[in-house]
Structure 1
Amino acid sequence: MALKNHKKTITRIFILLVVMTLICMGVFACTNYLEQQSKAFVDMSKVQLIQLDEPESDAPAMKITTTAGTIVAELFPEQAPAYVKQFTELAESGYYDDTYVFSVEKGVYFEAGSPNADGSLDSDADGTYEKVERETSGDLWPFRGAFCVPTTSKEGNILDRFTGRMTSYCGTRFVVCNSIVFDDSTKEELQSVSENAEKINDAFLERGGVPNYSQQMTVFAQAYGDESFDTIDKITEAATQPAATEGGYTPPEDEIRIQTIEIGTYGEFADTAENTKK
């Protein structure tokens, strides 16, 4: 009798575990779905793809001088006010001078702005610089030449996570997009996302970029000019070291550094950019 009851108990426990697992899987899937939905919504009727336009001469801009070449980019303080404010202040203070390109995804993007070659921050770094709330805009997308900022942390309670209302933060390190390869399957997937996003899809197909970053990161600047894109190409084609850990950074074999970042207007840097979009 005891053995029979013992078997019943094991069966009940097993069923309970299966049910709990299914519930957890359902909650996790629902949470992820809601979180993605909350990030992805953009009113396409109001979208203006400002990165496709040549900057005005008085537009805020920066010139990044690296050991691999120069990049000129327009800044977008209206769409990303908090991040552009911090970035401008840090650049003008010399924070980015002699910092590293610390990871390269061949042909696709590079990550930069770390004081250390391994992508880490100094132990005494001011943590407030890594707590800028993410700013997304339907007018800015991760096209080729876009400057994006990856998420450093998220905050919120269980309800926030379930409803997709976690607050995402970004910091001092940034990503510069080159482009994924748009093969036939990628084109089909891109075009199937939304019938209302045709002009965005067309822009990705024409200009290139990293569409899976769309509305997932702050986009705060856009590169212009032949020299800028030549530099981006050169950096993203650099030979890389293997990642120290699975999914870790892949730094360039030969050190690439940001020497200086100058803040000014596009008119001041237009000659360097050759005033030509690519």
Structure 2
Amino acid sequence: MNKKTKIIIAAIAAVVVVVVAGLLIFFLTRSNSSNDSSSSSPDRTTESSTMSQADLNKLDLPQLSNTVASDEAEVRLETTAGNIDIKLFPKLAPLAVQNFLTLAKQGYYKDNEFFRVINNFMIQTGDPSNTGTGSTSVVNDNQPFSTEISNRLYNIRGAVSLANTGQPDSSSSQFFIVQNSQNMTGQISDTSKYPQKILDAYAHGGYPSLDGGYTVFGQVISGMDIVDKIASAQVQTNSQSGEASSPVHPEKITGVTILKDWKFKK
């Protein structure tokens, strides 16, 4: 083998080494990049979907008790149709409860009409203009705030939830009370994502399609007959939405009494 041939062979060997090394580096880098990406990506699944039903069944479900616990607040909505007592969940929906209690103490809800009522669905209020176009936030730097979702709270009959625009950061002062009393278990496609006691509750009413999209921050513990009365009002078509949900003679909130307050950390 002459000197020239040896040089050519050595050069080819060097190229092969460089290519192999480059391929190793490429695959290692791609693997690490993939791992980094998966670890930093947000988990978009809900708590409920990542828990087994057995685990969900172990959760404390505060809506199913009429007792006001030490970590809950309580208010009385005084309306022209009668009183509605509601317990609130400041630990599970802190922004919603803080906004509601602060506004209630300021008299914000006085004379608010139930401007949108749909029998066998819900009644809505919380806008002083009584049009559904106004709302107020006194938390989150006076800006609308995020939807607060908990696998311990659901839109069963009597649930008190915040209205929003469909965007994740659009909750504010408007709220609704779920009134439907019909069996809704047939509308739940995946029962494994629900605690059994909540499935049982949905057999007596509620609206499971709202779960995951609206902040549940309270539960009616007395006065559902008043909610039913408000929901059964004669309605007319709303000129803006085209929905038959505007009461001809709307009931309204005459005051909010804080029966049990809650102190939030500053």
Same fold? TM cut 0.5: yes
> Is the CA contact 2:157–2:178 (under 8 Å) kept in the aligned structure 1?
yes
Q: Which of residues 62, 66, 80 is equivalent to 2:75? A: 62
Give the superposition deviation at 1:135. 0.6
Matched residue type, 1:64 = L
Q: CA deviation at 1:180?
A: 5.4
Instruction: Find 2:112's aligned residue among 99, 123, 129.
Output: 99
Partner of 1:245: 240
Q: Which residue of 2 aligns with 1:51?
A: 63
Q: Spell out the pairing of 1:148-227 with structure 2 (5 A cutoff).
A: 148-152=161-165, 154=167, 167-179=168-180, 181-182=182-183, 187-190=185-188, 192-195=189-192, 197=194, 198-205=196-203, 207-225=204-222
Preserved contact between residue 74 and residue 85 of structure 2 (Cα < 8 Å) = yes
Q: Which has the higher helix share?
A: 1
Alignment of 1:41 with 2:49, yes or no, is yes
SS in 1 for 2:126: strand
Structure 2: state its 5+ residue gaps. Answer: 1-42, 262-266
Does the CA contact (< 8 Å) of 1:152 and 1:171 recur in 2?
no
Q: Contact (CA 8 Å) 2:117, 2:230: kept in 1 or not? A: yes
Q: Write out per-residue CA displacement over residues 175-209 of structure 1, whole angstroms, 9 at most, x where no aligned residue.
A: 11111532xxx54342x41335333211211x311
CA distance in 2, matches of 1:146, 1:111: 12
Which residue number in structure 2 is paired with residue 133 of structure 1?
146
Q: Is the 8 A contact 1:113 1:172 kept in 2?
A: yes
Q: Deviations over 1:48-100 (max 9, x none)?
A: 22111122375410000011111001010010011111110100010111111
Tell me the equivalent position of 1:260: 255
**Which of structures 1 and 2 has the bigger CA Rg?**
2
Distance across 2 between alignment mates of 1:147 and 1:216: 13
Give the aligned length: 212
Superposition deviation, residue 214 in structure 1: 1.2
The residue number in structure 2 matching 1:270 is: none
> Residues 134 and 126 from structure 1, CA distance in 2 versus in 1: closer, same or farther, beyond 3 angstroms?
closer
CA contact (8 A) 1:108 1:210 kept: yes
Q: Would you say the 8 A contact 1:113–1:258 is kept in 2?
A: no
Q: Name the SS of the counterpart of 1:41 in structure 2.
A: helix
Q: Percent identity?
A: 27
Per the alignment, in what secondary structure is the counterpart of residue 103 of structure 2? helix
Distance 1:202 1:257 in 2: 32
**Given the alignment, which residue of 93, 116, 119 partners 2:129?**
116
Q: Supply the AA of the counterpart residue of 1:210.
A: Y
Give the TM-score normalised by structure 2: 0.70
TM-score by length of 1: 0.68
| 1:152 Cα deviation after fit | 3.2
Q: Give the Å deviation of 1:229.
A: 0.8
Opposite residue 171 of structure 1, the aligned amino acid is: S
Q: Distance in 2 between matches of 1:71 and 1:42?
A: 35
Q: Which runs of 5+ in 1 are unaligned?
A: 1-34, 155-166, 267-278
Q: Is the 8 A contact 1:149 1:219 kept in 2?
A: yes
Q: Is the 8 A contact 2:166 2:213 kept in 1?
A: no
* Aligned Cα root-mean-square deviation (Å): 2.8
